[in-house]
Amino acid sequence: MAKDVKCEVNSCKYWANENRCNASSISIVSHHGGNQARKSEETDCQTFESKI
């Protein structure tokens, strides 16, 4: 598992200094449903929660 997860979305409540994600787990899904994606643009981070 990755030790260092980067995130540039500083409006997320899990965003930390130096663009680090401090969520205890991360969920990423495909726009198309199921488990297939060919490009990062076809995925979404469902872990995101707005801190605003």
What is the residue extent of each domain of the chain? 1-33
For residue 35, CA distances in Å to 13, 19, 39 come to 26, 27, 12
Q: What is the C-alpha to C-alpha distance for residues 23 and 15, in angstroms, rounded to an integer?
A: 8
φ/ψ (deg, to 5) at 28 = -125, 135
φ/ψ (deg, to 5) at 44 = -135, 145
State the pLDDT at residue 33: 80
pLDDT tens digits, residue range 1-52?
678 899 999 999 999 999 999 999 999 999 888 889 999 999 999 999 999 8
Rounded to two decimals, what is the model's pTM? 0.80
Per-residue tokens: 18: 């130096």
